[in-house]
Amino acid sequence: MQILKYELEAYIPFDNESIEKFLFLCEETINNLTSDQEVIFKLKSATHELLINSLEHGYGKTPGKVSFLMEKTEHSIILEMTDEGSGLNPSTLDLEKQCTDLDSARDRGWGLMILKRLADKMEITPNKPKGTKVSISIST
């Protein structure tokens, strides 16, 4: 069996056990979508980064609802993480800025720099009515 599309929605407390359980479910799906170890590494790393960003920044380290969607297409895997947290304004982000050290990454943050390097394509949009949606695409 090969999973082509998977969606998981959960209310996640900000504690290690809950975060690990959610990540485990996501990682099981990733392992069923592809056998390419490089793609698996990128997807697992991106999933972890997106979840932590949602809980830390979107919900201020308090519990919150997070949606995880993964879909395999002919030439890529799409990963989408959505929250209903405080949100951010994508127009204020400089995703083209090159980060070369800790000081240059402080304005934008490490999370977005990591995601930018992992993904072939990344889109950040507001989640309606509130929160943030981040979609990334990784070529297979």
DSSP 55-76: IIIISTTS-EEEEEEEEE-SSE
Task: Quickly count: other Cβ atoms within 10 Å of residue 26's Cβ.
Answer: 23
Residue 47 Cα distances to 27, 92, 101, 113, angstroms = 8, 23, 23, 14
- pLDDT tens, position by position, 81-111: 999 999 876 666 655 555 555 555 555 567 8
Q: Which CATH superfamily is domain 5-139 in?
A: Histidine kinase-like ATPase, C-terminal domain (3.30.565.10)
- pLDDT tens, position by position, 22-41: 999 999 999 999 999 999 99
